[in-house]
Chain A
Amino acid sequence: MADPYKTLGVSKDASQDEIRKAYRKLAKDTHPDLNPGDTEAERRFKEVSAANDIVGDPEKRKRFDAGEIDETGAEKPERRYYREYAEADPNMRYGGRTYSGGGYSGGAYSGAGDAFDAEDLFADLFRNRGRSEGFRGPGRDVHYTLPVDFLDAVNGARKTVAMPDGKTLDIEIPAGFREGQILRLKGQGRPGQGGEPAGDAYVEVHILPHPDFRREGNDIQSALPITLGEALNGASVRADTVDGAVNVKVPKGAKTKTTLRLRGKGVPYDKSGARGDHLIELVIVPPENPDDELAAFMADWEQKHPQHPRQRRGGQS
């Protein structure tokens, strides 16, 4: 960040009053809520405010001048400006009201017709859309986002999707698709003007979460509940994987967090056919309705075989 004195446009020996005046002037010019269409305003206002936070406060200014603190001061939490809510608010809660404090009371000068007087804004809104509207030229690229089911992203899928402009696109999602990857569909954007080629469609894919599976790179992770009996005696139990249920062998004496690795049952790597693994973490579920018999047996058993579950693993004695 720049020197706070320079940011505020004052000399190093300016009085506090001069600094306050300079800050006020700059704040009025740069406040994001007074410049709703100006994306730069927020950055400039932050700079001005940060400068004022230091040299506008006589104590901090003294410490800054003495070199005790640098020009960044303390970082402020992210602020969300009124303009971010006001314009998006569909009910216009703070629009069209009159104030008892002697403010403006609506009438002849308000109304939709005024909208077209805001020429900069109109231009600004179109410019922000990144359009290149000329009389001739290649068609524009279009951007879409597409939510995709977890399993479709893992196994690959073909989707026919209706786009906002009414046309349908056939989209091939390759197996092993990653969150945020972008598909480019050549020539599927806006048609060109004056014989120029059409633009491309870019589809950003967002993968929806799965209730049971998580993805870690090309491995799949899931939890598999087993009974205490299955854990003690070992068992063969059904477990879901991304391509259907399989039987897995729970080893005798399995514990909660024991992990079983199903090789090649994870997410396909690109094209080669190789796949990651599926890691199943066992979770021992205690009996649902333990009765007196079980409780008495366990008490008796633990008497004979004292248990120390809270002792640190690998510790002495």
Chain B
Amino acid sequence: MITERELIARLARLGAETLHQWIEMGLVTPHRDAGGYVFDDLDEARVALVCDLHYGMGCEAESLPVILRLIDQLHQTRHSLRAISAAVAEQPDEIRVAITTRTRIVLGRTPDDRR
């Protein structure tokens, strides 16, 4: 956990006013304690990403929620997929092969197409 001051010190391009704006927009949801906001690793990495989008790639503030929403959905999807693929990987070989083969067919690939 780091404080707002520490976070801003680590991210050269970021100022307090902009950070507050992002928090207000709900782009980042740090915890609060008596001394103000505190940021964990997840929050810090997220703020760094927003900085890259905004300052590095020139994404306007207005478009940030849309982009982040899509990235969030991507991570949710990957999270579910990872759970599914872990569950599949634990199955006996016959079941696992059946699922992966069927998946490849549904996706329009030949069964032994490993790309």
Give A residues with C-beta under 8 Å from B: 23-24, 27-28, 31, 33-34, 36-37, 49, 79-87, 89, 92-104, 110, 112, 114-116, 118-119, 121-123, 125-127, 129, 131, 133-135, 139, 164-165, 190-191, 193
Complex: A164 Cα to B90 Cα, angstroms:
9
Task: Point out the residue from B71, B100, B112 that lies within 8 Å of A34, measured CB to CB.
Answer: B71
Pick the most buried of B29, B42, B46, B115: most chain A CB atoms within 10 A of its CB.
Answer: B42
User: Do B78 and A36 touch across chains, with their CB atoms under 8 A apart?
Assistant: yes
Residue of B nearest to A35 (CB): B74
User: Do B42 and A89 touch across chains, with their CB atoms under 8 A apart?
Assistant: yes
Task: Point out the residue from A82, A135, A191 that lies within 8 Å of B49, measured CB to CB.
Answer: A82
Does B110 lie at the interface of the complex (its beta carbon under 8 Å from any beta carbon of A)?
Answer: no
Complex: A49 Cα to B12 Cα, angstroms:
14
Complex: A91 Cα to B63 Cα, angstroms:
25
CB distance from B57 to the nearest CB of A (A): 5
User: Do A101 and B25 touch across chains, with their CB atoms under 8 A apart?
Assistant: yes
User: Do A104 and B75 touch across chains, with their CB atoms under 8 A apart?
Assistant: no
User: Do B90 and A104 touch across chains, with their CB atoms under 8 A apart?
Assistant: no
Chain B contact residues: helix, strand, loop or mixed: helix
Known A-B contacts A24-B58, A28-B57; the reply to A115 vs B81 at CB < 8 A is yes
Complex: A37 Cα to B78 Cα, angstroms:
9
Task: Point out the residue from A79, A93, A98, A99 that lies within 8 Å of B42, measured CB to CB.
Answer: A93
CB distance from A107 to the nearest CB of B (A): 12
User: Do A129 and B85 touch across chains, with their CB atoms under 8 A apart?
Assistant: yes
Complex: A33 Cα to B96 Cα, angstroms:
30
User: Do A114 and B77 touch across chains, with their CB atoms under 8 A apart?
Assistant: yes
A contact residues around B46 at 8 Å (CB): 82, 85-86, 94
Does B6 lie at the interface of the complex (its beta carbon under 8 Å from any beta carbon of A)?
Answer: no
10 A-B residue pairs with Cβ-Cβ distance under 8 Å, sorted by A, are A24-B56, A24-B58, A79-B48, A86-B71, A99-B68, A102-B65, A103-B65, A104-B65, A115-B77, A121-B77
A contact residues around B70 at 8 Å (CB): 104
Residue of B nearest to A114 (CB): B77
CB distance from B104 to the nearest CB of A (A): 8
Task: Point out the residue from A103, A133, A164 that lies within 8 Å of B66, measured CB to CB.
Answer: A103
User: Do B93 and A112 touch across chains, with their CB atoms under 8 A apart?
Assistant: no
Residue of B nearest to A140 (CB): B93
